[in-house]
Chains A and B, each alone.
Chain A
Amino acid sequence: MSSHPPSSTKHVIENNIKSIAISGLHRGENPQPGPSVIASIRRLFPNFRIVGLSYDPLESSLYSEHSDRPDIAYSMPYPEIGPDALLERLETIIRKEDLVLIIPCLDLEIPNFISISAKLREWGIQCALPTKLSLDAISKSNLSDFCRQLNISSPKTKTVISQFQLEQVAEEIGYPVYVKGVFYEAQLANSKQELIKASEDIAKTWGWPLLVQEALIGEEYDIVGLGDGNGNVIKTCMIRKFQRSSTGKGAAGIVIEDPELERLTQCIIGQLRWNGPFELEFLKAQGKPHALFEINPRFPAWVDFPSQIGCNLPGRLIEGLLGKKLTPLNTCATGQMFVRHCIDLVGDVADIAEMSSTGERTITPYKIKLEVT
Chain B
Amino acid sequence: MENKVIKKHNLQKLRFYGDEFVFNTVSGMCYRITSTAGFILRSLVAGKKNEQLVDLIQARYGIDQTTAVRDIELLLNNLAELGIIDKHCSP
Contacts and interface: CB of A to CB of B under 8 A. Distances in A.
Interface of A: 219, 221, 239-240, 242, 254-259, 286, 334-335
Looking at chain B's contact residues, the main secondary structure is loop
Interface stretch (B20-28, B38-46, B59-67, B69-77): B20-28
B27 A256 contact: yes
Given A286-B83, A334-B15, A335-B15, A240 B25 contact: no
Interface of B: 15, 23, 25-30, 83
A253 to B, nearest CB: 8
27 contacts: A219-B27, A219-B28, A219-B29, A239-B28, A240-B27, A240-B28, A240-B29, A242-B28, A254-B28, A254-B30, A255-B28, A256-B25, A256-B26, A256-B27, A256-B28, A257-B25, A257-B26, A258-B26, A258-B27, A259-B26, A286-B83, A334-B15, A334-B23, A334-B25, A335-B15, A335-B23, A335-B25
Nearest to B24: A256
A261 B75 CA distance: 29
Contacts of A335: 15, 23, 25
B19 to A, nearest CB: 18
Nearest to B81: A286
A315 B26 CA distance: 27
B78 to A, nearest CB: 14
A-B pairs, top 9 by smallest CB distance, nearest first, are A240-B28, A256-B28, A334-B25, A258-B26, A254-B28, A257-B25, A335-B23, A286-B83, A256-B25
A256 B15 CA distance: 12
B17 to A, nearest CB: 9
Nearest to A258: B26
